[in-house]
Chain A
Amino acid sequence: MSESADIHAPGVEVKKSCCYFCHQNCGVLAYVKDGEVLKIEGDPTHPTNQGGLCCRGNIALLHLDHPARINHPIKRVGEKGEGTWEKIPWDTAIAEVAERLNQIKAESGAEAVATAGGTLRTDDWSRRRFMNLFGSPNGFHNALLCWIPTFNVETIVSGWSPFETDLGTSRCVILWGFNPGASAMPGMRGYNDLQKQGLKLIVVDPRYSETAAHANLWLPLRPGSDTALALAMLWVIIYEGLTNNEFVDNWCLGFEELQDHIIDYTPEWASELTWLDPELIREAARMYAQNTPSNIQWGCTADQLGKTSGAGMHARAIMRAITGNLDCPGGDLMPGPSSYYVTDEELEANDWLPEEQKAKQIGSNKFKLTSWPGYQKIADTARATWGKAPTSEWFCEAHGPSVFKAILTGDPYPVRALIISATNPVNSYGDAKMTLEALKQVEFLVTCEYWMTSAALYSDYVFPIAGALERPIIHNNYGVTDSLIASQRAIQPLYERKTDYEFWRLLGLATGQDPEQWPWETLEEAFYYVTWSFNEQGYQFGSYDEFVEKYRFFYPPMHYYKYGANGFCTPSRRVELKSSILEELGYPALPTWIGPAENEEDDPEVAKEYPLVLTTGGGFMPYHHSEEFNIESVRFLSSDPFFTINPEKAKELRIKDGDWCWIETRRGRIRQRANVEPSVDPRVIYAQRGWWFPERQEDTGEEPFGCLESNVNVLTSVDDEHCDPIGGSWANRGLLCKVYKVGYWDETDTSFSIPGSSPEPGVTVPPSEQKLAYEFIPYEPKPTFEVPEGLTWDPESKFAWDLELGLYYDPDSGWLIHPETQVYYDLYSKYAYDATTETLVDEATGQHYHMETREPIIATPTDMVGGEEL
C-alpha cells in the first residue's frame, strides 16, 4: 500500500514520460503534484511495454533524488583524482571550459578536442552539432560495439539496414546473440506470444540464456565463432538451393561470385570452429530459409566479435537478401530515413565541418566504414535516393580506443581535451587499464554525469545532467527509422541539473558559435521543430508537449517493397552481395572467414596457457551496462559479480559455487564469484559486465571505486590487430582465458594483482605502427566500359576524361559532356553539338560542321532552316 502518496488526490497530473534506463524507452505515467513526482507506473497504452516496467524502469524515483546524484556543477580544486571539489555556478563553469577549449583549439587545432559518449542517455545530435561547429571530427561512442557496424555493412549491401523485423506475419526468427529475456523485456513478451502462434525461434547463444530456454532450435556455439556459423548457413542455403531465385535473379548482384567464394565454408568446416554438429547447422539454415518470411534479429554479439565481426555482418546481410526477406511482409523491413519529420542528421550541421577536418578523424584511416570515408559513400547514396542520410553521430565517428591511445602517445596527433557525456569509459570501453590511464593523463577532462564515477573523478569539471523524468525524450532508433515515439518531462530538472542539450548549447555559445546555430533554447523547442511537420499530416498541435499529450506516436503508412520503384539505395541500385563500397574501401568484397580475436587455431600458444573461452558483454538483469550499481534496491538483488562455469570444469578446477575466482587473459585479471551451473559448455566462461563499486566513495587511489577489480574490460583487447578492420569493433566475446580460485594473499590485496601481462598500463606499440588484422586490398577500379583512345580513366569519378578540354565521356551516348554546361561534344572532332541547328560547332571559330561527315557547312541561313543540306 502506498501510504505516503495518493495518486488519486486532487491536483495530481499524469505526465506521459518514459523510462530512460535502456533503449526500449518504455512508456511511463508519472503522477505529479506541485512539481513533485509522487509515483510512476508503466503506461498501459504504450505500444512498447503495455504497462510493463522492469527493475530499471521501476527505480526511476530512487534514481531521481538519490543521495549520490551530482546536483551542481563542480570544479576540481585538489590534485586530479583526489576528489576535492568546489561548487561553481553554471555560467562560470561553462565560460571557463569554453575558454580552455578555445585555447587548445588555437594552439593544437580543433581536432585536439574529443568527446566520448555512452549509450542512449543523451540527445547526441546536439553534441555532434557542437563538434561540427567547433571543427573537431573526434566525437565517439561505444557505437562500434552496438549495432553501428552492422547497420553500415547491411546498408552498403542492401541499401538500408533491414532491422525492423515485421514479426506479425513472420514464420521464423533467428535471435542471433540476442537475449531479450535479459535486455529487452517487451521484446521477450512479443516473442513468447508469437511463438504460440507458430513463430519458430532459432537462438544462437553460447549460454543457456533466458531466451535460449524458449528456443525451438538452440545453437550453443563456441563464443566468437558466429561468423563461421553464418558462412556455413549461407553455404547450406545456397548449395541446398534454398534461395529465393526470383529475388536473386532480379535484384542481387554478385551471386555467382558469392557461390564460388563460399564453396569451402561447409557445415563440416564450421563444425570444428563452432563446436556445433553440422546437422544442427543444416537444420537451422533450413528452418530459416524454408519458413519465409523469416527474420534475423540483430544482437549486440554481431558487433562484439572483434576482427571477425565484419564478415559475419556481411554474411547475415546476404542471408536476409537471398532468402527474399528484404522489405516484404513478415520480413526484414528497411524503413529508410523519415521523410515526415526532421531527422537527427539534419540537426547535426555536418556541412559545417570542413573536409580537411573530416580527414583528421582518428581511426578513419583504419576503420573506414564507420568513419568519414565509408559514411560519406553511404550518405551520398542515401541522399541520392531519399534526399536524406543516416545520422552521422554514432554512424560516423572517431575510433574511441584510438583516441585514448592518441591521448597517451600523441600518435597521430595529441588529443588534449576530452569531454565525456553519459559514459564511464573505464567500464564501457575495451582495455580498461589503458582507458583509465588515458583519463588520468588527458590534459583537460570534462564530464557530464549523474554520478561520481571513476571517469568523473579525474575530471576538471563535472556537470550535473538531468535524467529520466526530468527531460523530454524522442525515441526514433538513433534517427534512422521513419517512426517516432515522443515523451514529455514529468518535472523540471531538480537542483541545478540541465539536459545535455542545454550543456552543448551553452558551451557552443560560450566558445563563440553563432547563436543562430542554436535557435532552440529548450529541448521542447527543438523537438517541436523536429515534429512540427506532422501538422501537415493532419495532426494538430502547437507545442511539443501538446503533441505528446494528444498523439505521442507517429507511425508513417506502411510500405512494403519500397525498392520496387527506384531500386535499392546502393551505388548500383541492386542488392550488392559483392559490395562495391567494401571493395572501394579496400576490404574483401565478399564475406571472408577470419578467426575471432583469440582462438585455439590461430593462437595455439596462447590457448595452451589460457585454455578456456571467455564470453562477456551480455546483458543481465537487473543492471544495464554499468548503471544502477548504486541503486540499493537493485544492487540488493545482485550484490556481487558472478561468472558462470560448467560444473564439470568447476570440479576439475576445484571451484565451488560462490567461490571468489580470478579470471585472467593476456591483458590482466579480475575477480568474480563462481556461479557453477551447466548453462555454458565446459570450455566456456561467461563473465558479467559492467561491475564497479560505487559505494567505495572514498577510495580515490589508483583504482577508484574498485573500477578494475571485477571489470571485464580489463580482459578485453583494443589492439588494432584484434579490431574489425571494417567497422572497428573490438572483441568482448571469444577471448581466451583461465580461471583459478582467489588465494588467501590475493584476497587481502586485490590491487596488487591487476597488472596482467604488460608491466605498465598504456600503449606499448605506437598506434601508427599497430597492424590491422589484415591488410587493405588496393582498390584499382576498372572502367566498366571501353575507354576511347586519347581519354584518361579516373577511378575517383569513374569517368574517362578529356583532360585538355575538361570533358567527360558518356559511354551510353558515346559523346563527351562538359560537366558544368552539360553541352555535348563530339568524341573525335571535339566540336560542340548545337541543338538548334543539329550541327556541330567549333566553339573557337564558330564554324558549323556536318553531323555525320564532319565537313564544314557553308550555306545560307535558309539552308539551315530545315536542318538539312541542300
Chain B
Amino acid sequence: MTRYAMVMDQRRCIGCQSCTVACRTWNELPMDIIYNPVVTEGVLGEWPNVHRTFTPLICMHCDNPPCTICCPCKASQQDEDGIVWVESEKCMGCKVCVNSCPYGARDVNGHEGFVRKCTFCMDRVREGDQPYCVATCHQKARIFGDLDDPASDVSKLVNSLKTNRIFEELGTDPQVYYIPDLGGVH
C-alpha cells in the first residue's frame, strides 16, 4: 500500500513563501485562494535573545478526514494512497467541507462555485514527480513520500524523529508531520 505524507522541516524553513507562489502558478489558482500559506508568529523573545518559527500550512490529507464524510455528493473524496481531493465536476458548492476542515485547507470563491484544495499535486505525483511545492523548495524543508515505504525519507524522518502534528487532538490523524525548530543551532 502507498500512503502519501509530507514532512515539514521547520528547522530549514526560512519563510520565503516560494511554495505559496509556486503552488499558485503551477495550479493556476485564483488570487484569493492559497493552498499553502507559510505562517509565523514573528520574532518572539527579548532582544537579542529571540527566536522565530515558520509553519508552512497545507492540506493535512488526514487519515480520518472530516471533510470527506460530510460531503453529500461524494465530490470530496480520499483515494487509496491517502490523497484527499475534490472532483470539481461533482461538487455542488455547499461548503460543508470547507467549514468542517480544522486547518482551513479548503476554499471556494464566488466566481467558480466549487471547492478547491491541495491535491498533493496528484497529476505530478502519479507521474512519479514530487508535488510542486516540494520540488520548488530551495531549502528542502518539505519532504514528500510514501509513509508505508520504510525506505522513504518521510518514513525515516517520521519514525526516527519527534515530530508534531497540528490539532492532533481533534482525531483527524493528519498526515503532515512537522519537525520543530527548537531554536539555536542545528
Contacts and interface: CB of A to CB of B under 8 A. Distances in A.
B119 interface: yes
Interface in B134-151: 135-140
A214 B139 contact: no
A509 interface: no
A675 B48 CA distance: 17
A186 interface: yes
Contact of A621 (B15, B28, B119): B15
Given A1-B27, A680-B47, A633 B135 contact: no
Nearest to B119: A1
A185 B18 CA distance: 10
Contacts of A648: 47
B88 to A, nearest CB: 9
A181 B25 CA distance: 22
Interface string B41-54: 01111111011100
A764 interface: no
A646 B44 CA distance: 11
Contacts of A41: 26, 132, 135-136
A633 B31 contact: yes
Q: Point out which of B15, B45, B138 has the most chain A C-beta atoms below 10 A from its C-beta.
A: B138
Nearest to A646: B47
Given A2-B123, A41-B135, A54 B48 contact: no
B22 interface: yes
B16 A58 contact: no
B95 interface: no
A679 to B, nearest CB: 4
A1 B122 contact: yes
A102 interface: no
B3 interface: no
Interface in A43-62: 44, 49, 51-55, 57-59, 61-62
Interface stretch (A187-195, A301-309, A659-667, A793-801): A187-195
B77 interface: no
Interface in B1-58: 12, 14-18, 20-22, 24-28, 31, 42-48, 50-52
A675 B41 CA distance: 12
Given A1-B121, A55-B18, A192-B12, A208 B138 contact: no
Contacts of B12: 189, 192
B136 A3 contact: no
B51 to A, nearest CB: 7
Given A1-B121, A646-B47, A58 B25 contact: yes
A678 B50 contact: yes
B185 interface: yes
Contact of B52 (A2, A59, A213, A622): A213
Contacts of B132: 41
Nearest to B13: A210
A767 interface: no
A370 B75 CA distance: 65
Q: Point out which of A44, A53, A59, A182 has the most chain B C-beta atoms below 10 A from its C-beta.
A: A53
A42 interface: yes
B127 interface: yes
Given A1-B119, A195-B185, A678 B45 contact: yes
Nearest to B18: A54
Contacts, number: 135
A634 B50 CA distance: 28
Contacts of A678: 43-47, 50
A58 B22 contact: yes
Nearest to B53: A213
B28 A2 contact: yes
A54 B121 contact: no
A210 B185 contact: no
A52 B27 CA distance: 17
A52 B46 CA distance: 34
Contact of B43 (A54, A195, A679, A682): A679
A632 interface: yes
Interface string A143-185: 0000000000000000000000000000000000000011001
A180 to B, nearest CB: 9
Contacts of B27: 1-2
A52 B42 CA distance: 25
Given A53-B18, A57-B136, 18 more contacts: A2-B123, A39-B26, A52-B139, A54-B136, A55-B21, A58-B18, A58-B25, A59-B25, A185-B14, A185-B139, A189-B140, A195-B186, A210-B15, A648-B47, A678-B44, A679-B50, A679-B52, A681-B47
Interface of B: 12, 14-18, 20-22, 24-28, 31, 42-48, 50-52, 119, 121-123, 127, 132, 135-140, 185-186
Interface of A: 1-4, 8, 39, 41-42, 44, 49, 51-55, 57-59, 61-62, 181-182, 185-186, 188-189, 192, 195-196, 201, 208, 210, 213-216, 218, 220, 621-622, 632-634, 636-637, 646, 648, 675, 677-682
10 contacts: A3-B28, A41-B26, A52-B18, A214-B186, A215-B185, A622-B17, A633-B25, A678-B46, A678-B47, A679-B42
